[in-house]
């Protein structure tokens, strides 16, 4: 039902606002993908791969080069994440929700600022439209995507922070439907965190965890 609603909304806004077909496809596939992630459904990965292709084209057209390159990395991580969720558990079972390890937190705290600084320098050199916003959202999203592939509960924190920056960034680049989509993402990330935390707590209290 949610997927159908997103499809109808995307079609309606395309007609009312004269939004490009590319942005509309990104809206629909992105909304469905995040909804499937919230539900821990494996189908989020193939839908996400299609969304990466669509957004890669959209961001190239908008000169958001870091976000365009991010879609390429997302695609590779998406293939890996699909496999991890399917076979990453004990004895190649399905992966379950877990918490971010101390070593992962340390790596993220070092890499996210470093990647942000590096990307900002590169984007200034190639005349990117929004070097700072493009760089920091790219770094945060890479961290979030890694944690998602590992099915870490805290992936939602990084998506929420990135979405709070993405919304004004896309509005500034005249991408209203994409900004709206990321507003929906923000709400869904909050729902996703609560849902995943509930599942994680249940797993701790299950007999198999004893």
Q: Of 153, 69, 82, whose CA–CA distance to 118 is shortest?
A: 69
Binned at pLDDT 50, 70 and 90, residue 21 comes out as confident
**Are 33 and 51 in contact, with CB atoms under 8 Å apart?**
yes
pLDDT in tens, 114-129: 999 998 999 898 887 8
User: In this structure, are residues 119 and 138 in contact, taking their beta carbons and an 8 Å threshold?
Assistant: yes
pLDDT in tens, 141-153: 999 999 999 999 9
Average model confidence (pLDDT) for the chain? 86
List of residues 6+ apart from 160 with CB closer than 8 A: 186, 189, 190, 193
Query: What's the predicted TM-score (pTM) here?
Result: 0.83
pLDDT on residue 210? 46
Q: Distance from CA of residue 119 to its chain's centroid?
A: 18
């Amino acid at each position: 039902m949610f997927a159908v609603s997103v499809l109808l909304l995307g079609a309606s806004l395309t007609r009312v606002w004269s939004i490009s077909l590319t942005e509309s496809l990104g809206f629909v596939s992105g909304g469905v993908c995040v909804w499937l992630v919230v539900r821990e459904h494996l189908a989020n990965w193939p839908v996400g791969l299609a969304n990466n292709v669509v957004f890669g084209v959209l961001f190239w057209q908008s000169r958001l080069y870091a976000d365009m390159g991010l879609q390429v990395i997302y695609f590779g991580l998406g293939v890996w994440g699909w496999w991890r969720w399917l076979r990453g558990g004990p004895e190649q079972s399905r992966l379950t929700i877990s918490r971010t390890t101390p070593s992962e937190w340390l790596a993220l705290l070092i890499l996210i600022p470093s990647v942000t600084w590096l990307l900002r320098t590169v984007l200034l050199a190639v005349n990117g439209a929004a070097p700072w916003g493009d760089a920091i959202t790219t770094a945060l999203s890479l961290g979030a995507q890694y944690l998602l592939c590992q099915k870490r509960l805290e992936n939602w924190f990084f998506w929420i922070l990135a979405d709070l920056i993405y919304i004004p960034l896309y509005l500034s680049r005249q991408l209203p439907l994409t900004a709206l989509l990321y507003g929906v993402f923000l709400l869904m990330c909050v729902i996703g965190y609560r849902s995943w935390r509930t599942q994680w707590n249940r797993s701790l209290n299950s007999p198999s965890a004893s």
